[in-house]
Copies of this chain bind each other. A is one copy, B any other.
């Protein structure tokens, strides 16, 4: 019989669900407060999602962008981590149901993040793969490398083409970076590893339904990104969305079809809040309505932060804050502070988002960045991108290994992690199933 086995220390208990950027920021802020803090996560590690695309494209080892949660908060007293799935919240009883039993809370911080959103298109959900988890990234890596291996064994040109056709949909930073990195594979890895393959048959598509890439950034950055990707040979299709996909034929909204054995879906994410809150608070994208203090509307003791929090108080963000690490980090901090204030009976502090900048890499050594009103691109932006990512990556060992990999790759054009973990058929449906079974 499993049970959370949390000690009763007499202190008020804050339960934080999710060890992403938001959850970690909340726990850190609560560090020196007279509270018992419990962090609940399905995994035992914090995942640095901004670099997932480099794992998918054999540039980084999976372990180097994951950091064990138990290594982050070590000196903290009355702090407990439980590896569990949060299932349902009972606000009346202040109980969180989890896969390891009920946990009582005095304050609850929900930071469960988001998952791939297929917008209800079940055919696409079956045949495409998302890129939100470490396992998915490893699967995509195995899948891409397996396509190359398989293509060697084929004679039918149409089949060769469909296997060497990689379609990424969604023109946000993830899609732009992933498409760029796959195009770099074609340029630098394929000719050396697979001299027998007809490189020219390999195609990389990036399909975006909006009128420009990186819609969250300045039009100038969008243009730079488009130019950069085109320079790498990515076929960027704008103003068009994916209509249907059966694992072989991809149909676009403009009537075009593409023969492709792969579709990587970064066209949308959906918040995954814990069940048990009034339906009326949930947005269509799964986000939960919060007030200016990041409390769930009508719930004094429940906070929601990051990807799952919906707030339109800031006129700059009429559709809610972007689902990025910075928002989660800042909301984590304000929620923790407000919990302390609640406990002390002091007035709460309102959340004000400070946008510290946005950036995206384009291929090997270019990037676009917008920081503090400055817009820059090219090599300098790429250096800033590297520095910032190393700064936020957790753990000295990880920083060192990632940095070394980048330097090595920059000099040699090589990708060290071209490892296929799984054998078995390189079939995206099976990959998805195995991800889901985990």
Residues in chain A within 8 A of chain B (CB atoms): 1-5, 7, 42-45, 61-64, 66, 68, 70-71, 74, 80, 82-83, 100, 134-135, 138, 145, 149-150, 152-156, 192-194, 196, 395-398, 400-401, 404-405, 408, 414, 416-424, 437-438
| Assembled-state Cα–Cα distance A405/B398 (Å) | 10
Chain B nearest CB, measured from A360 CB (Å): 25
| Assembled-state Cα–Cα distance A405/B420 (Å) | 23
Chain B residue at smallest Cβ distance from A150: B2
Chain B residue at smallest Cβ distance from A138: B421
Are A44 and B196 in contact (CB-based, < 8 A)? no
Q: What's the number of copies of this chain in the assembled complex?
A: 2
| Assembled-state Cα–Cα distance A423/B154 (Å) | 36
Are B44 and A420 in contact (CB-based, < 8 A)? yes
Are B193 and A420 in contact (CB-based, < 8 A)? no
| Assembled-state Cα–Cα distance A61/B401 (Å) | 11
| Assembled-state Cα–Cα distance A418/B72 (Å) | 12
- List B contacts of A401 (CB < 8 A): 61, 401, 404-405
- List B contacts of A408 (CB < 8 A): 396-397, 400
Say yes or no: A397-B420 contact (C-beta < 8 A), given A3-B153, A61-B64, A153-B5: no
A sample of 5 cross-chain residue pairs with beta-carbon separation below 8 angstroms, ordered by A number, consists of: A5-B153, A45-B419, A61-B62, A68-B418, A422-B438
Are B418 and A70 in contact (CB-based, < 8 A)? yes
| Assembled-state Cα–Cα distance A194/B80 (Å) | 9
Chain B nearest CB, measured from A157 CB (Å): 13
Are B422 and A149 in contact (CB-based, < 8 A)? no
Are A416 and B398 in contact (CB-based, < 8 A)? yes
| Assembled-state Cα–Cα distance A356/B176 (Å) | 52
8 Å CB contact of A153 from B2, B42, B152, B398: B2
| Other A-B pairs beyond A61-B62, A398-B416, A422-B438, 13, CB < 8 Å | A1-B155, A4-B153, A5-B152, A43-B420, A45-B419, A66-B419, A70-B193, A70-B194, A82-B152, A82-B153, A396-B408, A397-B405, A423-B438
Are A45 and B420 in contact (CB-based, < 8 A)? yes
Are B437 and A416 in contact (CB-based, < 8 A)? no
| Assembled-state Cα–Cα distance A231/B70 (Å) | 27
| Assembled-state Cα–Cα distance A66/B405 (Å) | 15
| Assembled-state Cα–Cα distance A420/B66 (Å) | 10
8 Å CB contact of A63 from B1, B45, B416: B416
| Assembled-state Cα–Cα distance A217/B404 (Å) | 38
| Assembled-state Cα–Cα distance A192/B150 (Å) | 46
| Assembled-state Cα–Cα distance A42/B44 (Å) | 31
Chain B residue at smallest Cβ distance from A398: B416
| Assembled-state Cα–Cα distance A328/B209 (Å) | 56
Chain B residue at smallest Cβ distance from A80: B196
**Interface core residue of A5, A43, A419, A424 (most chain B CB under 10 Å):** A419
| Assembled-state Cα–Cα distance A232/B417 (Å) | 34
Are A71 and B193 in contact (CB-based, < 8 A)? yes
- List B contacts of A152 (CB < 8 A): 5, 82
Chain B residue at smallest Cβ distance from A42: B423
- List B contacts of A193 (CB < 8 A): 68, 70-71, 74
| Assembled-state Cα–Cα distance A2/B100 (Å) | 47
